[in-house]
Structure 1
Amino acid sequence: MEKETARIEGFSDGVFAIAITLLVLELRIPAAEANNSRQALINSLLAQWPSFLAFSLSFFSIFIMWVNHHKMFKQIYRRNSTLMFANGLILFLATCISYPTALLARYYSTPSVTVAVAVYTGLFVLINLAFNLLWGIASRNRTLLRPEISTAAIKKIRRNYQYGIPVHLSAFLLSFCWPGGALILCAGLWTYWAFTSRRLDLSTSLANRP
């Protein structure tokens, strides 16, 4: 069966690359006039820790999104308009990450931190829903998937993405009372996905099982 998704995957890789590059634009060089001494420069850099935190969280979140997107499309061989628009939604949300990242960096050490973290975690609720939507469309009737994939494999991938919905939603709700805990919860989920992404590399026996 010939794979029809090469252009979708190539375009998606480009968008993920741009989205991850945009994050670095929020890292500012301290003004030289105010940091003539070594200690002053060190203090200025330390004061920017929210920016470094936001950048690191967002960089690895987009990277893990790309890894999961890549592994998902290893199982998708055909495409239709609905699939393409669902994939476009993921790419749109990926490019939006730079905005709440900048918001988080600027307001994390202020009384408005709860709002900034709520916007940040809320976006990832939408991203997780978009990934579930994409796989739901791709696996519906199995017509878009590679022929040898099994029902068990389809359910295994679906479960892997469904875990994120309650966790990201919990992080969003937690952001209003414990912003730091909300970010820890998100980082914990991304770490879990990073270590379990191999589940999407289906073995031949699982793929061929009815």
Structure 2
Amino acid sequence: MEKETARIEGFSDGVFAIAITLLVLELHIPDIEGSNRQALVKSLIAKWPSFLAFSLSFFSIFIMWVNHHKIFKQIYRRDSALMFTNGLILFLASCISYPTALLARYYGTPSLSVAVAIYTGLFVLINLAFNLLWGIASRHKDLLRPEISQVAIRKIKRNYQYGIPVHLSAFLLSFCWPEGALMLCALLWTYWAFTSGKLDLSANKTRDIS
């Protein structure tokens, strides 16, 4: 079967790259007069929330890109529903820079819980969109790699279903322990980083677990 998703994947790669680039715009150079080294060091240390927010969001977008790439190794054909759902994922990925800026600006203030709630709430929507994308592709199996088995389809589905309760828990936790909510998200993304190989199913693997 000829793969029809090359343009979707190429466009998506570009959007993910832009989304990561937008994060860098929130890292501002300290405005220090003269060459006072101590003042520069203190100013850089004071900006640690910006570096933390950048690191979290860079890691999250990178994990999104890795999993998006591996999903589309299993998707060979496209339809309108698949394309629009993919567009939703890209839209949400492009929005990550805004709650990242909120997180950097309000970390260490009483407003942190609101910033983290917006941040984690966005990832609830992103995870729902990824589940919807795979749901559309797996429901119409003619969109998938011909050799993929039902066992492999369910394995990929389970891998993404973990994200909904975890991100929702992080969203609820953000109102009472925002730092814990961020740690919960980071743990989930780390888990996905180590288990992304589950989505890398070659033709031989899919036949073996049929």
Q: Calculate the TM-score normalised by the size of structure 2.
A: 0.97
Contact 1:152 1:206 in 2 (8 A): no
The within-5 A match list for 1:79-98 is 79-98=78-97
Match of 2:16 in 1: 16
**SS in structure 2 opposite 1:125?**
helix
Query: 2-side partners of 1:36 and 1:174: how far apart?
Result: 43
Report whether the alignment pairs 1:187 with 2:189: no
Match of 1:71 in 2: 70
Offset, 1:203: 4.6
Report whether the alignment pairs 1:31 with 2:34: no
Offset, 1:141: 3.0
**SS in structure 2 opposite 1:2?**
coil
Match of 2:131 in 1: 132
Contact 2:124 2:164 in 1 (8 A): yes
Aligned positions, number:
209
Query: 2-side partners of 1:146 and 1:195: how far apart?
Result: 24
Match of 1:123 in 2: 122
Structure 1: segments with no counterpart, 5+ residues: none
Match of 1:144 in 2: 143
Contact 1:12 1:91 in 2 (8 A): yes
**SS in structure 2 opposite 1:135?**
helix
**Post-superposition CA distance 1:129-165 (Å, at most 9, x none):** 0000000001113010011100000000000000111
Offset, 1:32: 2.3
**Post-superposition CA distance 1:66-102 (Å, at most 9, x none):** 0000000000000001000000000000000000000
Contact 2:23 2:97 in 1 (8 A): yes
Report whether the alignment pairs 1:159 with 2:158: yes
Match of 1:5 in 2: 5
Match of 1:177 in 2: 176
**SS in structure 1 opposite 2:57?**
helix
Offset, 1:202: 1.6
* Runs of 4+ residues over 6 Å off in structure 1: none
**SS in structure 2 opposite 1:109?**
coil
Q: Percent identity?
A: 82
Q: CA RMSD in A?
A: 1.0
Structure 2: segments with no counterpart, 5+ residues: none
Contact 2:32 2:39 in 1 (8 A): no
Query: 2-side partners of 1:196 and 1:19: how far apart?
Result: 23
Q: Calculate the TM-score normalised by the size of structure 1.
A: 0.97
Contact 1:54 1:102 in 2 (8 A): yes
Offset, 1:204: 4.1
Offset, 1:37: 1.4
